[in-house]
Chains A and B, each alone.
Chain A
Amino acid sequence: MPLLLSEVLANEPGSVTSLEFIELVARHPVREGSVLLNANGDTLRLPESPLDSGAYLVVCRDAQRFEAHFGDSSGVWGDSEYETYAVQEFSMSLPNGEGYVGLTAGQEADEFRWSGDAPDGTSYERVSDSLWQPTESSVGATPGRRNAGLPADFDWSLERMSVPPGLLRSGLPVRLTIEIRNAGLLASGGVVTVVHQPRDTLPSLLYSGMPGELIELSCELVPHSGLNSVSLELGPDDRAANNDGDLAFYADGAPVHLSEIHPSPSPGQPEWVELCFPTGSAMIVPPLALTDGNDTGGLPIDSWSAGSNRYLVLTADSFLFALAYPGISAPVVQPQSWPSLNNDGDALELLLQGAVIDRVEYPTPGSRRGVSYERIGSSAQWGWSVAAAGSTPGARNSIDVPYSDGIQVDVDPNPFAASQGELANFNYCVPFGAQAELRLFAGDGRLVRTLFERRAVVSGQAHWDGHADNGVPVPVGIYILQFRLFEPREQVYLSTVVVAR
């Protein structure tokens, strides 16, 4: 077949009908009038003039409107760098729903049938001999150009951008990790430009690699208190659609986070999501939104009030919620739309001012009907509720203590002014069923203070006032914190604590 179908725009943007087009590409030199086009029943002999191998021919419904939209809008086709391919006007009508386009040249034929699954203003494009799909192009169509879904020679794709999970502190550097992949057909390289808002431009990062190679880059940034956003741009390369990325995160804690979700309600219960405001106040700036991770639907929350409550419950049906959970003191809000929780996405995101400030991926509830999935304490861990009622909407979660795989200890402040009455706070996280002890040694190895001896512990906080076991203030200096875990396995964590004046 000398001429192949390459792209079809049937579902034009809005109510416009004059932008319909069919893109053809010549595999070999094509003689004038050698191919017959069937556009959903309307036939046209192509091309008006011979085509060279690799040349594009676009058959459009209205050449003037087509030039105005996809050209430079000069009124004349072929007078700009955007108008280098052949255009042939044809009075055709391509339906938004099911449709058909065919080509015949002697005994050879090519065809494409669609069933109306391309979004408004999005063309269908051919990415292999037998595969057509809605275009990946950000502008909805690529007439006279390489299809967006085809592999490009030079194409790097941003795969992932992240900062360490957990609480980030303003002023303390964190490592930004960037994963990019060479999605092109050739070995290539480029520059990553990273901008950290509101005011930092980070050094550019260079990359290079072979086709298919995944590269991890990283750089250090210093978070500002509150909302931080990071913009990243690769390239330039042959495909711009996968070159950009944004990351938003909070330092010093987000003002709100997901606390509990109810994806598999019992009969008579609605789905609901509980939000927690750690500071106990509703000091957030809308828009706040929930979105299913794989669903296009969003849930704008423009007006609501948590008052002095720490929790806010969002539900698919507030009336049903009131019947199922009488006596809930926390405010309950029924948004105008509700993304079904128990769908194929199995993920929920909380967005504040466009930044994804929290996300939970929950497992298939299975037989756990009526049991909520809840955050364990203030950690990043989640688990199924162990409450007798199956859930705790508007109240503390049933498991309010976080657990970790190993010992995690955060000392704050460090150094600390013991002589000024300041305490060193040891925030520790331990595995479930831990037996541990927490002791402090002087620099010369002497045991100075035992905060607690071997006993069963859960994650929590201990304090040191800078005194030895005999009550005498210890001298200024470096002390060794030893957190020793006996159960469920032996582990020792050492760190330094500085006593200052």
Chain B
Amino acid sequence: MRRLLLAAGAVLFCGPPAHAAFEALRAVSTPAAFDPLRPALHFWHTAPGRLVDSAPRVHVAGAQPYGLAELRSGAVDITARPGSFGLGVSFSTLGSGQYYSELLLASGVAWQPARWVALGAVVEHGSVYAGSRFPALYEFALGAGVRARLSRRFSLDCAATGLGTSSEEARLFTPRLSAGLTFEYSNLLCVRVASLSHLQWSLGETVKVGENLALSADLVTSPLRLSLGLLISAGPFGFDFLYRDHPELGGDVAVGVLFYT
């Protein structure tokens, strides 16, 4: 559960590359919209298909990670206007006789006190229920981050997240630190390099093709994984798809539906 909390906070300032500009700063996002089990992939990049989208909306997504029939994950992500408030809920459940569910609720606020800097904070609450044989587990954590524009094309961001504790531990979690550098060389193409925890590195790219289509690709190390995303907008609705490869566990697909408020 701790990793979920950490990851959720980490995306506080993780504006997607295509709109790394401060104007698109999102208040909060559940990184697990597609896949709560692999939040690290969403550390600085929300699901690729969503990268060019910053409008207030409701996003519902679901996945069956690794093709495991008994495992389900999903998320509901409500994003308010930049500079205000956001709310996200993600969950994972298991069936097949090994009942398990974990639920993460994250809320946050972001603001831009100056033209070249943005700040944000997030509060996270998680709960785990693994059947009647085990006590329910609750976790609570805080996170904060900053993004600074270095030049017209470069911006730097860093965050400390997951500072909290659980109902089963007397001590505080070790915060998770992360940082990223974004380079924009056009409004259509953006490359981002970020250092993740566990000495992971990430390189992502997003291309917006026209008004209604966006494509995205990510590379994450340890293990080296490639993600390919697609977002199609149609009126107030959007549909996104994600394919993610894993060298050992195989690739899988997640899908989502967006409604722009």
Residues of A within 8 A of B (CB): 172, 411, 414-415, 417, 419, 439, 441-447, 475-478, 480, 482, 484, 492, 494-496, 498, 500-501
9 A-B contact pairs sorted by A residue (CB < 8 Å): A442-B3, A444-B3, A445-B249, A446-B198, A477-B4, A478-B92, A482-B249, A492-B250, A501-B130
B95 CB → nearest A CB, Å: 10
The answer to whether residues A501 and B137 also contact, given A445-B225, A480-B66, A496-B98 and a CB cut-off of 8 A, is: yes
Residue of B nearest to A413 (CB): B133
Name the residue in B1, B71, B100 with the highest tally of chain A Cβ atoms < 10 Å from its Cβ.
B100
Q: How many interface residues does chain B have, given as a range?
A: 35 or more
Determine if B130 and A500 form an interchain contact, defined as CB atoms under 8 angstroms apart.
yes
Determine if A447 and B102 form an interchain contact, defined as CB atoms under 8 angstroms apart.
no
Complex Cα gap A495–B38 (Å):
16
Partner of A415 from B3, B37, B98, B198 at Cβ < 8 Å: B98
Complex Cα gap A419–B135 (Å):
12
Partner of B223 from A447, A477, A496 at Cβ < 8 Å: A447
* A residues less than 8 Å from B4 (CB atoms): 477
* A residues less than 8 Å from B102 (CB atoms): 477-478
B82-133 interface with A by 8 A CB criterion: 92, 94, 97-98, 100, 102, 128, 130-131, 133
Partner of A477 from B1, B66, B98 at Cβ < 8 Å: B1
* A residues less than 8 Å from B98 (CB atoms): 411, 414-415, 496, 498
* A residues less than 8 Å from B65 (CB atoms): 443
Residue of B nearest to A420 (CB): B134
Determine if A445 and B168 form an interchain contact, defined as CB atoms under 8 angstroms apart.
no
* B residues less than 8 Å from A441 (CB atoms): 248-249
Residue of B nearest to A495 (CB): B68
A221 CB → nearest B CB, Å: 15
Complex Cα gap A496–B68 (Å):
8
Complex Cα gap A496–B101 (Å):
13
Determine if A501 and B134 form an interchain contact, defined as CB atoms under 8 angstroms apart.
yes
Determine if A478 and B38 form an interchain contact, defined as CB atoms under 8 angstroms apart.
no
* B residues less than 8 Å from A414 (CB atoms): 98
Determine if A446 and B223 form an interchain contact, defined as CB atoms under 8 angstroms apart.
yes
The answer to whether residues A478 and B100 also contact, given A439-B248, A445-B41, A445-B249 and a CB cut-off of 8 A, is: yes
Determine if B135 and A501 form an interchain contact, defined as CB atoms under 8 angstroms apart.
yes
* B residues less than 8 Å from A439 (CB atoms): 248
Determine if B223 and A417 form an interchain contact, defined as CB atoms under 8 angstroms apart.
no
Chain A contact residues: helix, strand, loop or mixed:
strand
* B residues less than 8 Å from A496 (CB atoms): 68, 70-71, 94, 98
* B residues less than 8 Å from A419 (CB atoms): 168
Name the residue in B223, B249, B250 with the highest tally of chain A Cβ atoms < 10 Å from its Cβ.
B249
Name the residue in B3, B4, B97, B223 with the highest tally of chain A Cβ atoms < 10 Å from its Cβ.
B3
Determine if B168 and A501 form an interchain contact, defined as CB atoms under 8 angstroms apart.
yes
Partner of A475 from B3, B39, B131, B246 at Cβ < 8 Å: B3
- Tell whether B36 is near chain A: CB-to-CB under 8 Å: yes
Determine if A494 and B137 form an interchain contact, defined as CB atoms under 8 angstroms apart.
no
Determine if A444 and B39 form an interchain contact, defined as CB atoms under 8 angstroms apart.
yes
Complex Cα gap A417–B168 (Å):
12
B247 CB → nearest A CB, Å: 9
Residue of A nearest to B128 (CB): A476
Complex Cα gap A241–B39 (Å):
63
Question: A417-B134, A419-B168 known; 19 other A-B pairs, CB under 8 Å?
Answer: A415-B100, A415-B131, A443-B3, A443-B36, A444-B39, A444-B41, A445-B41, A445-B223, A475-B3, A477-B1, A477-B3, A482-B248, A494-B67, A496-B94, A496-B98, A498-B130, A500-B100, A500-B128, A500-B130
B139 CB → nearest A CB, Å: 9
* A residues less than 8 Å from B134 (CB atoms): 415, 417, 500-501
A339 CB → nearest B CB, Å: 41
- Tell whether B40 is near chain A: CB-to-CB under 8 Å: yes
Residue of A nearest to B100 (CB): A498
* B residues less than 8 Å from A411 (CB atoms): 98
* A residues less than 8 Å from B7 (CB atoms): 444
B37-52 interface with A by 8 A CB criterion: 37-41
A478 CB → nearest B CB, Å: 6
A51 CB → nearest B CB, Å: 66
Complex Cα gap A477–B90 (Å):
14
B254 CB → nearest A CB, Å: 14
Complex Cα gap A439–B134 (Å):
25
* A residues less than 8 Å from B70 (CB atoms): 496
- Tell whether B2 is near chain A: CB-to-CB under 8 Å: yes
Complex Cα gap A445–B67 (Å):
13
Complex Cα gap A445–B37 (Å):
8
- Tell whether B222 is near chain A: CB-to-CB under 8 Å: yes
Contact digits for B225-248, partner A, Cβ 8 Å, 1 yes 0 no: 100000000000000000000101
A434 CB → nearest B CB, Å: 18
Complex Cα gap A439–B249 (Å):
11
Partner of B130 from A446, A476, A482 at Cβ < 8 Å: A476
Contact digits for B205-233, partner A, Cβ 8 Å, 1 yes 0 no: 00000000000000000110100000000
B1-26 interface with A by 8 A CB criterion: 1-4, 7
Complex Cα gap A475–B139 (Å):
12
A172 CB → nearest B CB, Å: 6
Complex Cα gap A385–B102 (Å):
51
Determine if B94 and A443 form an interchain contact, defined as CB atoms under 8 angstroms apart.
no
Determine if A475 and B249 form an interchain contact, defined as CB atoms under 8 angstroms apart.
no
